[in-house]
Amino acid sequence: MRVEGTDYRTVIMEGSTVRMVNQPMLPLRFEFIDLPTHHDTARSISSMIVRGAGAIGAAAGYGMAQVALEAPDGPEFMDYVQAGAETLRQTRPTAQDLFYAVQRVLDAIGGADSVQAARQAAVETAQAMADENAAAGQAIGELGATLIPDGANILTHCNAGWLAFVDWGSALAPVYVAARQGKRVFVFADETRPRGQGALLTAWELQGEGVPHAVIVDNAAGRLMQTGEIDMVIVGADRVAANGDVANKIGTYEKALCAADNDVPFYVTAPTSTLDARSPNGATIPIEERNADEVLHVTGITDAGEWARVRVSHAQAKARNPAFDITPARLIRAIITEKGIHAPHELPLEASR
Instruction: Check: CB of residue 38 under 8 Å from CB of residue 88.
Output: yes
How far apart (Å, rounded) are the C-alpha atoms in residues 163 and 169?
7
Q: Of residues 218, 238, 245, 276, which has the active-site annotation?
A: 238
Burial class of residue 89, CB neighbours in 10 A (0-12, 13-18, 19+): middle
Is 237 within 8 Å of 170 (Cβ atoms)? yes
Question: Catalytic residue at 238?
Answer: yes
In contact, 178 and 151? CB cutoff 8 Å: no
Residue 15 burial (CB < 10 Å; 0-12/13-18/19+)?
Answer: exposed
Q: State how far the Cα of 353 lies from the Cα of 350, in Å rounded to an integer.
A: 6
By annotation, the residues acting in catalysis are 238
